[in-house]
Chain A
Amino acid sequence: MAQVKLNAVRKTYPNGFEAVKPASFDITDGEFVVLVGPSGCGKSTMLRMIAGLEDISEGELYIGETVVNNVDPADRDIAMVFQNYALYPHMTVRKNIGYGLKNRKIPSTEIDAKVAEAANMLNLNDYLDRKPSQLSGGQRQRVAMGRAIVRDPALFLFDEPLSNLDAKLRNQMRIEIKALQRRLGVTAVYVTHDQVEAMTMADRIIVMNGGVIEQIGTPSEVYHSPASTFVASFMGAPPMNLFDGHANGTEVHVGETPLHRHTHQGKVTVGIRPEDIVPDVTGPLAINVNIIEELGAHRLLHGHTADQAVTIHVAKDFPAVTGPMTASLKPDAVSLFDSETGHRL
């Protein structure tokens, strides 16, 4: 159990590329933090710096109370689960799980007990004497988890552990990992590019883009009050609608329609979640629907308002047709962003 603290941690490569711009944040004891962002955003580099697989160019990294910048990965009291599981192909499941313990000079009876306990927890009892090549993807994933939990680490690190699994298994493992982390109470840092994983698993989400932290917040904060247009469009499927709008000091307009009261003046970007636009025959927003996406539990209407693309999320019992319709907004639905910088106003 430990808290993690990053103080202006930065990563530059010899060719001058800055993969992670100076980043500072704290992770409290037992927290599940998800680093999310598109590929190349620096999230994996950040995780690898925490693990010690990548050197930290500048800044300090604390695990617990100590600076661990120059501590070997094996001495950081961490456990890591890799995207392709990184199991030792020549060792049985039992040896894979116990390898880290063996190197810590733990008596073999104790290792056996811990391996058995982990195998029980992960339903791996029948597979302990198999090699990784004889296991399915989900089972390998479990072995990788087992290898992490037997070490009883201060910190779990996950590097896109579910990316190689099919969609169904991914949903199941998502819940299992979250439940396991809760039960063990170990601090965890989890890297993913999948915003659904981020939303469902995280206590707090760190959204990264281009080596910069865009926002740190609970899933609800990140979803409902995105700090930038990047976060607004990255989190949520379908993403937040972003309109070019104009503010006159009292009201914000999209096209001719006043949508929001705000004291800002000039051009703004107006963000509205698809589910915050409600079909309403007396509503102010005129929309022309082109395409209806049927998703079973609900429908997505894609169309235009004031010549700008819009997506609306409607209930399955709403009689959707293509063509013109009107809609209104839920209260507090509007997020305003600076049209130049993309930052939230």
Chain B
Amino acid sequence: MKRAGFSDRWLPVLFLLPQLTIIFIFFYWPAAHALRSSFFLQDPFGFGETFVGMKNYTMLLDSASYMRAAWFTVIFTSLVTFLSLSIALLLAVKADKVIRGAKTYRTLLMWVYAVAPPVAGVIGLVLFDQSWGPLRDFVALFGWDFRLGVNYFDTAFTLVVMSVWKQLPVNFIFFLSGLQSIPRSVREAALIDNRSAAGRFWDVTFPLLAPTGFFLLIINITYSLFDTFGIFDTQFKGEPGNNPMTLVYKVYLDGFRGNDLGGSSAQSVILMVLVLALTIFQFRMVERRIHYT
């Protein structure tokens, strides 16, 4: 096959330049800077720096608060990913069966997508507020004394609920379109082959949704790790206290509130390695993934 190419060697470079400039200024340069800072102890007011080697990293590993945040991040990410994927799948399967008013249901389900994460955080604050939150009053009926921002578990609960709620529409849209791309005749063949609806779902529908599901898994892990920042930030603006937080929020807190730029840089380098690993894993899986025709 003949490949289309440029006769001039500088023209393609020129086309790529704007994109490369953006990536360089907003990613490579700060990343390199973070990597460098992570080996230094920075003066909070910018009056100099001292080389400390790996000390920023070793301190992190010894730090109870960092390990606590790391564990919380693992649990939080798993919970949000699992819940938002499974609930969205359930909704998509049910919405797929709706014939009358299908468009209205779908629009209602997708609506939340337009809500920005900080706004979702504020909605969470309002719903679970100690003195006048309607959901707080509701769970109080079952004897649950809900204390948002005070009780560690209750705060984590709110964060998970709001993060899942915010992510549902995206997953829902992808699962629904995934379901609708399964040929009708394949489902009908299954209808003749298997009388159990659950059996048909797990044997036929679910495997055919696997490519969509895997893609969403990666998207959701990234979302839970990074994009939930806005929800966290609105939840404990000004009063982090001993509240649960993810590693990403801790980077911000230690760097910009605690003025520990070196330690914060070390934390972001760790996160970069994590994302790199996730990306490699994703590409490996995509390569190995079976392509159905």
Point out residues on A near B: beta carbons under 8 Å: 51-53, 72-75, 78-80, 82-84, 86-90, 99-100, 103, 131-133, 147
Contacts and interface: CB of A to CB of B under 8 A. Distances in A.
A52 B194 CA distance: 13
B204 A82 contact: no
B274 interface: no
Interface stretch (B11-19, B86-94, B182-190): B182-190
B185 A100 contact: no
B193 A86 contact: no
B292 A99 contact: no
Given A103-B199, A133-B292, A133-B293, A86 B186 contact: yes
Given A73-B191, A90-B290, A133-B292, 10 more contacts: A72-B195, A74-B193, A79-B192, A82-B185, A82-B189, A86-B186, A88-B186, A88-B204, A100-B193, A103-B196
22 contacts: A51-B188, A52-B191, A53-B191, A73-B191, A74-B195, A80-B189, A80-B192, A83-B185, A84-B183, A86-B183, A86-B188, A88-B190, A89-B292, A90-B208, A90-B290, A99-B193, A99-B203, A100-B193, A100-B194, A103-B195, A103-B199, A147-B189
A51 B293 CA distance: 26
B119 to A, nearest CB: 40
Contacts of A52: 191-192
A181 B204 CA distance: 29
Of all A-B residue pairs in the complex, the 10 with the closest CB atoms, nearest first, are: A74-B195, A86-B185, A100-B193, A86-B189, A89-B292, A133-B293, A103-B194, A90-B207, A82-B185, A73-B192
Nearest to A84: B185
A103 B193 contact: yes
B195 A75 contact: yes
Contacts of B207: 90
Q: Do most interface residues of chain B lie in helix, strand or loop, or is the interface mixed?
A: helix
Given A89-B293, A103-B199, A131-B290, A74 B194 contact: yes
B191 A88 contact: no
Interface string B161-200: 0000000000000000000000101101111111110010
A89 B205 CA distance: 11
Contacts of B185: 82-84, 86
Interface of B: 183, 185-186, 188-196, 199, 203-204, 207-208, 210, 290-293
B100 to A, nearest CB: 9
Contact of A99 (B188, B194, B195, B290): B194
Contacts of B203: 99
A86 B189 CA distance: 6
A84 B199 CA distance: 23
A132 B189 CA distance: 15
Nearest to A100: B193
A74 B210 CA distance: 25
B197 to A, nearest CB: 10
Contacts of A86: 183, 185-186, 188-189
Contacts of B195: 72, 74-75, 103
A100 B292 contact: no
A90 B213 CA distance: 15
B56 to A, nearest CB: 48
Given A84-B185, A103-B196, A131-B290, A89 B191 contact: no
A79 B291 CA distance: 28
Residue among B189, B192, B193, B195 with most chain A CB within 10 A: B192
A75 B23 CA distance: 60
A154 to B, nearest CB: 13
Contacts of A147: 189, 193
A155 to B, nearest CB: 11
B103 to A, nearest CB: 17
Contacts of A78: 192
A281 to B, nearest CB: 57
Given A89-B293, A90-B208, A74 B192 contact: yes
A43 B106 CA distance: 34
B191 A74 contact: yes
Nearest to A95: B203
A87 B190 CA distance: 9
Nearest to B187: A86
B54 to A, nearest CB: 48
A250 B196 CA distance: 67
A147 B188 CA distance: 14
A79 B191 CA distance: 11
Contacts of A89: 186, 208, 292-293
Nearest to A131: B290
- Output the residue of B194, B204, B208 with the most chain A CB within 10 A: B194
